[in-house]
Amino acid sequence: MNREGTHPGTGAILGLPESAGDRRLARYLQVARANPLGVFGGVLILVLIVVGILAPAIAPYPIDKFAGVPIKAPSAAHLFGTDKFGRDIFSRVVHGARISLEVGFFSVILGTLVGMIIGTISGYAGGLVDAVIQRSVDTAIAFPQLILLLIVIRVLGPSIVNVILVIAIGIVPGVARVVRGAVLSEARNAYVEAARATGASGARIVGRHLVPNVLPLTIVIATTLLGTAILAEASLSFLGLGITPPNPSWGADISAARNSFPINTWSALFPGIAISLTVLGFNLLGDALRDILDPRLRGSR
Amino acid sequence: MASGELLGVLRRRASRRAAMRGAALSSAGLAFAIACGSSNNNKKAATTATSAAPAPSGGTPAPGGGSAAASPAAGSFKPAPGGKQGGEYRTGFTGPWAGVDPHNSVYGGSGLVPIIYNYLVRTSTIAPDIGILPELATAWESAPDNLSVTFKLRPNAMIAENKQNVPVRPMDAEDAKASFERVADPKAASNGYSWIHDWVDHFEAVDKTTFKVVTKAPYAWVLNNVGNNLYSAVVPKEWLLSPDLKKTAVGSGPFMLQSLEEGGKAIVVRNHTYWEPGLPLLNQITGNSFADQATYRTAFTSKQIDVYGATDVEEAKAIAGSLKGSQRYEDPGFGFNSFWMNVTQKPWDDPRIRKAVRRAINPDEYIQLIAKGLGKQIGPLSYAMKGYTLPDDELKKLMPFSIQDAKQILQAAGQPNLTFKFQHPTSSNVADYVNIFVRQLAAAGITAQPEPQDAGTWVAGYFTNKLSASLSLNQEYANPDFALHWFTTGGITGNSHYDTGFSDPEVDAAVKKAAGTIDETARKAAYQDAQRLIISKDPPFWNFYGSYVNIVVGGNVVNYPHGIGSLGYYYTKNISLAS
Amino acid sequence: MQRYILRRLLMAALIVWAISVVVFVLLRVSPGDPALLQQGINATPEKIAAVHKQLGLDRPMIVQYFDWVGKLLHGDLGSSVLSQTSVTHEFRQRFPISLELMVLTVFWVVVIGIPLGMVSAIKRNSLTDYIARLLAIFGLSVPAFWVATLVLILPAQWWGYAPPLGRQIALFSDPAENLRQFLPASLVLALGPIAAIMRLTRSSMLEVLRQDYVRTARAKGLREQAVVFGHVLKNSLVPVITVLGLLTAGLLGGSVIIEQIFALRGIGQYIFMSLLQKDFPVAQGLVMYTAAVVVLINLVVDISYAVLDPRIRYA
């Protein structure tokens, strides 16, 4: 330990004078150590992302190849066993990761962005604009969520893009509401008044003051929403209204497994585990981020 | 001409609408099972075993418990005599009930109608050995000029006691006339409309017990259509006028409808005034409508229902094996899944393209992977229409699997890298076909791009002929005449809906001629010729394979009518429970 | 105060109206013609036209909308396109099932979630706490439909056991069987909410426990502690009750997936079926009902908040 009481940075270990980068690294490590679950969650997500990106390389078989004897338990040739067509479950789960991530990330990014914009406009503009937007948001939130998804996906038709759109639409109202609340409380702060007094334009205030302060909250929400989005996609696909075959979707695969007898336990088990671990990762990460980025949100650790 | 001549092999039309509606529900098939458990593959009635069908086990029961069961002569079913009175028989299916319109239901309701109402006769094309069974009609006779059939009705078929103010009196010829005239009305939207519209001149109630069907020209399928359980129920004429016609039922059949809950269960109970002494044996039949196959199956394996229609033979074997005393049946059926091409759009207007695509298809792969080996390659008519289908070896020659050929034809047609889009409804059953289909075509250098569609969109596109090509759901035709209307001008409905646009006067003539051929032997030959002709034209519609129906029946059930298709409804009154 | 209530009432009415419009339009815009879906082949143009006329689909959308709203206000929800049964009749049959499912689910949540959360808060950072929190986060992460699938299918496969499926057993005619039917479904449905409530209870309680008066009470001794504990409980449960209220509201609309898997003839399954079949009257009526319930409960919660905390009124 050096004089400041912090761990020596890599530079110090190597005998070089300590740099800002080292101190940042040390801080990150400290944060990491204080949030082991969050780190675990982050690792889970990282593994998932890697698997998703490298899916074609990792998966030993193509997703639609009838590679083995149907409904076989896990073996060396088929890590997770085979489904009713003899397709390798492991390969399908791996490719499913890619699709889940795609849907999850795009829908959340889209939904959060739009929600943030709407919420910021609503909170900052106030008055009639705010009232109208608020009421619309309330309406959307009052709509039973799954039903809303079902109706809209029926309107749009089955495809990955539409699933992303539908889930994004489901995300927007909640984000808008939260962001609006945050913007309202931020806007009351003195520095905003000051900025306005000095003649700063609305856009400038929003851009330089409000958004950056609202950002941490949004990131926290977005992280948890990633888990929710993936669950939503799985549910939709389970009901047959989301990702259509032959694309491998975890939810759809569980549904297919359910419909064969003897129930293909493996085909039902592994995608479910995959979903659970994924959502778990995002939840853990989201929790940790919330604790780190915005102490006010903490549920008192 | 004596009625005997018409007895032999008259077929009944089955409904394609069944499959269409099945298509409309993305999660449910349209199977229902009151008398006959049927599978999830949108098959309407369990049409079953016949004599020479070289099915792997020929429609004989495969026992689940290990003890060998006596196998009846394949193709005909006769209920063993006797049986305990009483008991509640529980069945199930996936899909909605959708009402009990006697001439217009194809979901669950179509399993209730045939046991609540009576028909003039009962017959099934799958069970030629049984022939035609009398019901309301005790005798029938064709006029010498073959332009009419006269039915003699029994005087003692009493309308069941009811709370709908329908008088309790014997059914008569007026009821028959009113019933068929309703079917003839296009507003009723009954499947029976087309045969009546095309062939019937008028119906006549000569007197209370004499009913006559007069046709415009000799027509071979009168008895078959009149015995079709989907659209030929004879309904009390007062009841036909009731606004509740779809919601409940008043008939003269062995059972009465006590209650019907959409999405829940239906209860039918014994009709005490049914004319056959001692029948029906059961006190009550309870039908359960399940939201999906998994729940349906679980209900059976946990013994909450007595009969189950499996999705394939492997599942049926596994379930039967795990349930002591259960019986398993591999019943031949009319169902098939098909590929449909709109010949008014490119590239399907070129018969060479149609031929090439068909050459790239290997039916065996579908049979192995989807039906788990229990299926048969078939031409335009199902293998189950005995005597009407083309022989296996000829079929293989006429519609071979040859990637070589496919490639050569495409080359010659100037489209070596053919690419096309096709639509299909999003149901998991169809998805399995899509998988294999795309892969098989790719092997011949053809790129088939699936466009999954919401069921509603798909049906609408189908109805208006907007689809370019489509992988459809299972279909089923028990009547060669109906089945071959896919290839006639105007399509299956005759009014150019669901129409491929294919039109060939030679084909039209051949189909019409076959339907008018009264002599049975000549008729069979005429249908075979018609099929050869159709195949030679590279038809815009062909099927992947003919499927079987896989049923598992609990050990407690006695006299389950298997192997005879929708004739099974007739024998529901003979079902009993062992305990 | 009255002005606040009035304002909220008006907004609630506005929202319900907006939902009615959105549902109406969305359903008619989605592809598929209910007449066609119902009739399928041999859907002669005459019949399609007849069904359209019967459903009123041949009129302009505005007219259809007001006609529907008019009937709605008189309590007439119309009839199912598919089965001709009246929506109200079906609803009355199915509502008790969704209701029972909801009551049982909330029961589990209250009986398991809240105590767990309390224990977790009190024994903060202990092993018990960590385990409970881990379990909770698992509960939030597993998909309900997956658990439901396993819970239903595995016992059936291994032991031939399944809860009653397909037939509905009334609570009062056979309580044991009825509970057998609803137990697995309600437990699975409660999984996520238990986790959420547990976490909420915990954090809420910790928040309250941190405050000064609690520390002072601790310093002052047991009797004070008991009094304060009661106080703590009351305060920490406020947000919990809010969320429970919202949960109840959501569950009153039935649960599509759980009802489907466990073959419970509830509202959720009814909505789902009607959406698939484009059964307009049913879908519209049910969505309105579900949304109205949520809005109403939100309204009640908001108003009770305002009653309890005057500052909110002026927000």
Nearest CA to B388 out of B179, B125, B153, B134 is that of B125
* List of domains in chain B: 6-117+253-334+548-577 (3.40.190.10), 121-241 (3.90.76.10), 337-546 (3.10.105.10)
Min Cα–Cα distance to chain C from B423, Å: 15
Nearest CA to C180 out of C161, C154, C198 is that of C161
Q: Per-residue pLDDT averaged across A87-102, rounded?
A: 87
Q: Per-residue pLDDT averaged across B381-405, rounded?
A: 91
Residues paired with residue B215 on neighbouring β-strands, in sequence order = B200
Q: Please indicate whether, in this complex, the C-beta atoms of B456 and A154 are within 8 angstroms of each other.
A: yes
Q: Which of B37-41, B162-166, B400-404, B447-451 has the weakest average pLDDT?
A: B37-41
The overall average pLDDT reported for chain A is 79
What's the start-to-end Cα distance of chain C, in Å? 12
Min Cα–Cα distance to chain C from A5, Å: 26
- pLDDT tens track for B177-187: 999 999 998 87
Residue C166 sits at the chain B interface (C-beta within 8 Å): yes
What distance separates the 2 farthest-apart alpha carbons in chain C?
Answer: 86
Nearest CA to B288 out of B112, B94, B109 is that of B94
Peptide bond into B280 cis (omega under 30): yes
Q: Per-residue pLDDT averaged across B450-458, rounded?
A: 77
Please count the residue pairs, one from chain A and one from chain B, whose beta carbons lie less than 8 angstroms apart.
Answer: 59
pLDDT score of C79: 81
- pLDDT tens track for B263-292: 788 999 999 999 999 999 999 999 998 877
Per-residue confidence at C109, pLDDT binned at 50, 70, 90? very high
Q: What torsion do the CA atoms of C286, C291, C294, C300 make, to the nearest 10 degrees?
A: -110
pLDDT score of B175: 96
pLDDT score of B217: 95
pLDDT score of C214: 63
Residue C181 confidence (pLDDT) above 90: no
**Rounded Cα gap, residues B296 and C261, in angstroms:** 10
Residue A245 sits at the chain B interface (C-beta within 8 Å): yes
Of C44, C162, C262, the CB nearest to B189: C44
Q: Per-residue pLDDT averaged across A187-207, rounded?
A: 69
Q: Please indicate whether, in this complex, the C-beta atoms of A284 and C143 are within 8 angstroms of each other.
A: no
Per-residue confidence at B21, pLDDT binned at 50, 70, 90? very low
Nearest CA to B399 out of B510, B523, B508, B541 is that of B541
pLDDT score of B427: 67
Q: Per-residue pLDDT averaged across B458-481, rounded?
A: 79
**Rounded Cα gap, residues B140 and B121, in angstroms:** 9
Q: Which residues in A203-239 are b (16+ Cβ under 10 Å) and which e?
A: eebbeebbbebbebbbebbbbbbbbbbbbbbbbbbbb
| Residue B222 tokens, joined | 């009168």
Q: Distance between alpha carbon C70 and the CA centroid of its chain, in Å?
A: 27
**Rounded Cα gap, residues B429 and A263, in angstroms:** 17
Any idea which residue has 């028959």 for tokens? Answer: B176
Q: What torsion do the CA atoms of B20, B22, B26, B27 make, to the nearest 10 degrees?
A: -170
CB neighbour list of residue B20: distance below 8 Å, 6 or more residues apart: B459, B462, B473, B498, C40, C41
Percentage of chain C exceeding pLDDT 70: 86
Q: Per-residue pLDDT averaged across C46-72, rounded?
A: 81
pLDDT score of C86: 83
Comparing B475 with B169, the larger pLDDT belongs to: B169
**Rounded Cα gap, residues A42 and A285, in angstroms:** 6
pLDDT score of B36: 31
pLDDT score of C39: 64
Q: Which of A12-16, B230-234, B452-456 has the weakest average pLDDT?
A: A12-16
Residue B126 confidence (pLDDT) above 60: yes
pLDDT score of A220: 86
| Residue B499 tokens, joined | 């129409």
According to the per-residue pLDDT averaged within each range, which of B102-111, B254-263, C292-301 is highest? B254-263
Comparing B464 with B225, the larger pLDDT belongs to: B225
Strands (E) across B271-396 are located at 284-290, 307-310, 327-341, 375-376
The overall average pLDDT reported for chain B is 82
Of B295, B299, B456, the CB nearest to C37: B456
Q: What is the rounded radius of gyration, in angstroms, for the C-alpha atoms of chain C?
A: 24
Min Cα–Cα distance to chain B from A85, Å: 7
Per-residue confidence at B418, pLDDT binned at 50, 70, 90? very high
pLDDT score of A137: 85
**Rounded Cα gap, residues B220 and B231, in angstroms:** 18
- pLDDT tens track for A8-45: 444 445 555 566 677 777 777 777 777 788 888 889 89
- pLDDT tens track for C122-140: 887 788 888 888 889 889 8
pLDDT score of B25: 28
Residue B160 confidence (pLDDT) above 50: yes
Sequence letter at residue A293: L
Please count the residue pairs, one from chain B and one from chain C, whose beta carbons lie less than 8 angstroms apart.
Answer: 169
pLDDT score of B156: 94
pLDDT score of A239: 83
Q: State the helix-helix crossing angle for C222-252 and C212-220, rounded to 10 degrees.
A: 140
Chain A residues with CB-CB distance to C19 below 8 A: 139, 142-143
Q: State the helix-helix crossing angle for B293-301 and B313-322, rounded to 10 degrees.
A: 30
Comparing B570 with C288, the larger pLDDT belongs to: B570
pLDDT score of B424: 87
Residue B431 sits at the chain A interface (C-beta within 8 Å): yes
Q: What is the rounded radius of gyration, in angstroms, for the C-alpha atoms of chain A?
A: 23
Comparing A7 with B132, the larger pLDDT belongs to: B132
**Rounded Cα gap, residues C43 and C57, in angstroms:** 16
pLDDT score of B20: 31
- pLDDT tens track for B558-568: 999 998 888 89
Cβ atoms within 10 Å, residue A255: 25
Of A135, A147, A234, the CB nearest to C15: A135
Comparing B53 with C51, the larger pLDDT belongs to: C51
According to the per-residue pLDDT averaged within each range, which of A24-33, B375-384, B457-466, B468-477 is highest? B375-384
Give the dihedral sign, CA A170/A173/A175/A178.
Answer: negative
Q: Per-residue pLDDT averaged across B547-562, rounded?
A: 93
Chain B residues with CB-CB distance to A243 below 8 A: none
Residue C222 confidence (pLDDT) above 80: no
Structural element, H or E, at residue B268 = strand B265-270
Comparing C129 with A201, the larger pLDDT belongs to: C129
Per-residue confidence at A154, pLDDT binned at 50, 70, 90? confident
β pairing state of B132-134 and B137-142: unpaired
Q: Per-residue pLDDT averaged across B10-18, rounded?
A: 26
Residue C275 confidence (pLDDT) above 50: yes
pLDDT score of B293: 82
Residue A156 confidence (pLDDT) above 70: yes
Comparing C294 with A198, the larger pLDDT belongs to: C294
Nearest CA to A224 out of A235, A232, A213, A236 is that of A232
Taking a contact as any Cβ pair under 8 Å apart, which residues of chain C between 218 and 237 contact chain B? none
**Rounded Cα gap, residues B446 and B355, in angstroms:** 13
